[in-house]
Amino acid sequence: MHEMSLMQGVLDILQDSAKSQSFSRVKTVWLEIGALSGVDPDAMRFCFEATTRDTLADGAVLDIAETPGQAWCMQCSQPAEIAARFDPCPHCGSYRLQVTGGDQMRVKELEVE
Ligand SMILES: [Zn+2]
């Protein structure tokens, strides 16, 4: 599963931060998932427990914030919010959109001890 390796990547980030910021347990992980990132939040939730078992984040809470897809319409020169890649501009219907945000997944914040 695609999300399994993504979650492994998240765990790598947690372990690196634990080393550089010297904490030993992660209590909460805030994950930001863009609507255009192609990452399924439910699948990430599903993978979280299995991936973090017996690690520094064992038993931690996963909080996922979904951010909307953002684009710039080159036709009507204004920002547009889109739900999926290759959606038309909600203002003018043009497909000449440049994605400007909401296409990534990132660890936003950690609660540690
Ligand atoms: Zn437009």
CATH number at residue 20: 3.30.2320.80
Query: Do residues 44 and 33 touch, judged by C-beta distance below 8 A?
Result: yes
CA of 33 to the centre of ligand 1 (A): 25
| Structural domain span for residue 36 | 2-112
pLDDT the model gives residue 1: 60
> Could you report the per-residue pLDDT of 61-90, keeping only the tens digit for each?
999 999 999 999 999 999 999 999 999 999
Q: Please give the structure tokens belonging to residue 8.
A: 């492994």
Q: Calculate mean pLDDT across residues 46-71.
A: 96
Q: Please state, as a whole number, how many other Cβ atoms lie within 10 Å of the Cβ of residue 31.
A: 22
- What is the rounded average pLDDT for all residues in the chain? 95
Q: Calculate mean pLDDT across residues 5-21.
A: 96
Domain count, the chain: 1
pLDDT the model gives residue 2: 86
CA of 17 to the centre of ligand 1 (A): 41
Distance CA 4, CA 46 (A): 9
Query: Do residues 73 and 80 touch, judged by C-beta distance below 8 A?
Result: yes
CA of 77 to the centre of ligand 1 (A): 7
For the whole model, what pTM was predicted? Answer: 0.86
Distance CA 68, CA 32 (A): 10
